[in-house]
Amino acid sequence: MSFLVKTTDCHHLSSTAMAMCSSFCPHLPNHFGGRPAYSFPTKPLSFSFKAFTSQASNASSKDELPTRVGFLGLGIMGSPMAQNLIKSGCDVTVWNRTKSKCDPLISLGAKYKPSPEEVAASCDVTFAMLADPESAVDVALGKHGAVNGMSSGKGYVDVSTVDGATSKLISGHIKSTGASFLEAPVSGSKKPAEDGQLIFLTAGDKSLYEIAAPLLDVMGKSRFYLGDVGNGAAMKLVVNMIMGSMMASFSEGLLLTEKIGLDPKVLVEVVSQGAISAPMYSVKGPSMIQSLYPTAFPLKHQQKDLRLALGLAESVSQSTPIAATANELYKVAKSHGLSDEDFSAVIEALKPKLQQ
Ligand SMILES: NC(=O)C1=CN([C@@H]2O[C@H](COP(=O)(O)OP(=O)(O)OC[C@H]3O[C@@H](n4cnc5c(N)ncnc54)[C@H](OP(=O)(O)O)[C@@H]3O)[C@@H](O)[C@H]2O)C=CC1
Ligand SMILES: O=CC(=O)O
């Protein structure tokens, strides 16, 4: 249950909501257009939309707002997300398995703790952006995992893409400490993460959703609250199941165009003007034609998402033959060493030298 508020219309937000955003992170009004604290924009500033639940502006008073924010997992997505929080003036503490990835954020003003447990213990709300279900469980529940630092009044927001069962497992352990849990996987890749334009698909404790909302709005352009834990994870997997199939189909089209003597660059242009236009085709098509795959969304993660989506479909006996076939292509690409390339490298699996 949500409604849309244009960022151009920030003055439609309640004063409570704006004051809450401002007090959360002192420089937050800059995110809304470079205005000084507590002043509202009076003219259109951007054309993006922010989705708010109908109760988001009734969140707790600013006295109750968390001020210390933890961030675990500083990969392609986690680094820019944490960076945006720091730039908004939040008091951010970071941890990453490979410590060197913390250094750029520390130089921007972040604090560092040597374990997820210590981050969680020192923060009010802790975000986690990990690779897959295994690492999400490890960081949350493993030795010196975040759960050991959680207690009543704290919140854990897992923004990794995982399956519902993993999310429920983590939620159960976090909540057993008295803390709150929110799953909030994101749609949007490296550039949207850098630009604070992610789409959050949240589910879990509504109270934590409301508390975390101003932070989500620093990192994203919209947020959906979907109810019980598992629903956010499921929505994300459905979206990425579609995306993985789209990319596989686009790859076939590019190769077929070339093989029949037409220019694939023209195909990209034609597609961009019609009903099947999608930003990822226009952005990635030109590089794919040159067999270049600069990594924004690692292929191994797309295959993981297809695998998890197929498991979800299996659990309700939904037929998904197109996604199943696409998954096979990503597996072939992985087996040829393309795991860390962008997921658009799936096209290589269709080229003669890589076919079995
Ligand atoms: N890239 C994208 O476009 C998008 C990605 N996602 C999802 O977001 C999540 C993160 O993606 P992304 O940032 O691209 O991935 P990366 O591979 O760049 O980063 C993965 C992160 O997980 C950490 N990690 C991996 N395994 C472990 C482990 N066993 N223990 C502790 N930490 C571990 C890595 O630590 P280390 O640095 O030490 O390796 C790193 O911080 C994934 O679930 C992905 O599916 C969602 C939307 C878009
Ligand atoms: O999960 C990947 C994305 O682009 O969204």
Return the pLDDT at 47: 26
Q: Can you state the angle between helices 321-335 and 231-259, rounded to 10 degrees?
A: 70
Q: Considering the entire predicted model, what is its pTM? A: 0.87
Q: State the amino acid at position 155 in one-letter form.
A: G
Please name the helix (run of DSSP H) or strand (run of DSSP E) that holds residue 136, with its range, or none: helix 133-141
Tokens of 318: 């939904």
- pLDDT for residue 254 is more than 70: yes
Q: What is the ipTM, given to two decimal places?
A: 0.99
* Higher pLDDT, residue 90 or 21: 90
pLDDT (average), residues 283-307: 98
β pairing state of 186-187 and 198-204: antiparallel
What is the dihedral sign for C-alpha 106, 111, 116, 120? negative
Determine what percent of the chain is predicted with pLDDT higher than 70.
Answer: 81
Is the beta carbon of 302 within 6 A of some atom in ligand 2?
Answer: no
Is the beta carbon of 101 within 6 A of some atom in ligand 1?
Answer: yes
pLDDT band at 320, cuts 50/70/90?
Answer: very high
Q: How far is the CA of 135 from the centre of ligand 1 (A)?
A: 8
Tokens of 326: 């696409």
Tokens 């197109």: give the residue.
322
**Chain segment 105-164, per-residue pLDDT in tens:** 999 999 999 999 999 999 999 999 999 999 999 999 999 999 999 999 999 999 999 999
Residue 66's nearest CA partner among 111, 149, 124 is 124
**Chain segment 41-92, per-residue pLDDT in tens:** 222 222 233 444 433 333 433 344 457 999 999 999 999 999 999 999 999 9
Q: How far is the CA of 351 from the centre of ligand 2 (A)?
A: 24
End-to-end CA distance of the chain: 47
Tokens of 105: 């954020």
Q: Report how far residue 212's alpha carbon sits from residue 182's, in angstroms, rounded to the nearest whole number.
A: 9
Q: Is the distance from CB of 179 to CB of 151 less than 8 angstroms?
A: yes
Ligand index nearest the alpha carbon of residue 283? 2
Ligand 2 atom nearest 186 alpha carbon = 5
Q: Is the distance from CB of 45 to CB of 9 less than 8 angstroms?
A: no
pLDDT (average), residues 208-230: 97
**How far is residue 40 from each of residues 34, 55, 198, measured CA to CA in Å?**
10, 20, 23
Ligand 2 atom nearest 161 alpha carbon = 1
Respond yes or no: is residue 50 known to be catalytic.
no
pLDDT (average), residues 234-250: 98
